[in-house]
Amino acid sequence: MPPQRALERDRPLRLGVMASGEGSNFEALVMACRAGQLPAEVTMLVVNREHCGALARAERLGIPAELIDHRSQPSREALDREIVARFRSASVDLVVMAGWMRIVTEVLLEAYPDRLINIHPSLLPSFRGAKAIEQALEAGVRISGCSAHLVALEVDSGPILVQAAVPVLENDSAQTLAERIHEQEHRILPLAVQLAAQRLGLLPGAAS
């Protein structure tokens, strides 16, 4: 993807994260920022489940978190409008879907064009959608992995930023394969955020 016009910035890149589950990718992103591996800061977490593990991680890490229960919203568009409002209130520049288990709409895509990144546990375009790890095991593939990509309206179809391959072992279960894939997700997600931000001119490193 060619770089876009560079922008002048007078503050660090501000990231918003969306999560529905345990939040290990959320924490990996926070730690990459704090370690100086990614020149940015995670400024807000949005979750859609009251008891998801990501909330506990946010409290431990000192990251502001907002619960927006999808069941209380009349539509997917209404949910996304709430998310956009929260992120805009925190001046978020770029949004990361780190285990967000809801299909997003044009409302979110139009608010953050080319600034919405997803991490998916397969080597896209193979095994899109839910239960990608189980799909890979059922298909009998010998190599799986993970992909970080820009989000498009069609599920798991946007331009790929970074991928990492993981061997599928003969005695693998969904859990054991997921553990190895998650290790690689934690590694490539900060890199994908940096690449996307550089392309937009939000971080140094892109041609103007």
Comparing 4 with 66, the larger pLDDT belongs to 66
Q: Which domains does the chain have, with CATH numbers?
A: 13-199 (3.40.50.170)
Note if the bond before 12 is cis, omega within 30 degrees: no
**Residue pair 206/3 in contact by the 8 Å Cβ criterion:** yes
As a whole number of angstroms, the distance between CA 85 and CA 119 comes to 23
Catalytic residue among 51, 120, 149, 186: 120
What is the Cα–Cα distance from 15 to 91, expressed in whole angstroms?
9
pTM of this structure: 0.90
**pLDDT in the model for residue 193:** 97
User: Does residue 120 carry a catalytic annotation?
Assistant: yes
Distances (CA, A) of 179 to 41, 84, 137: 26, 31, 14
What's the burial of 126, exposed, middle or buried (CB within 10 Å: 0-12/13-18/19+)? middle
Model pLDDT, residue 10:
61
pLDDT in tens, 134-174: 999 999 999 999 999 999 999 888 999 999 999 999 999 99
